[in-house]
Amino acid sequence: MFTALGEVEIIERIRDEILLLVPLLGDGNLDAYGKSARMNLKHKEGQLL
């Protein structure tokens, strides 16, 4: 049987599936992946541009 899902429900299902595939994303510690591949500006550095 087909049931219509709201946008929020679809987003929650997608998020759950991603966290099932990559559980490290769920703990909020994104530093576990190491340093960023590109340089990031700090707030004050961005203001100088």
> What is the pLDDT confidence band of residue 1, given thresholds at 50, 70 and 90?
very low
Number of residues written out for the chain: 49
Task: Report the pLDDT averaged over residues 21-47.
Answer: 79
| Domains in the chain: boundaries | 1-32
**Mean pLDDT across 11-20:** 92
3 pLDDT tier (thresholds 50, 70, 90): low
Specify the pLDDT at position 32. Answer: 66
Q: Where residue 29 falls among pLDDT bands split at 50, 70, 90?
A: confident
- Provide mean pLDDT across the span 12-17: 92
Q: Which residue has the tokens 């994104």?
A: 30
Angle at Cα 22 formed by Cα 17 and Cα 27, nearest 5°? 100
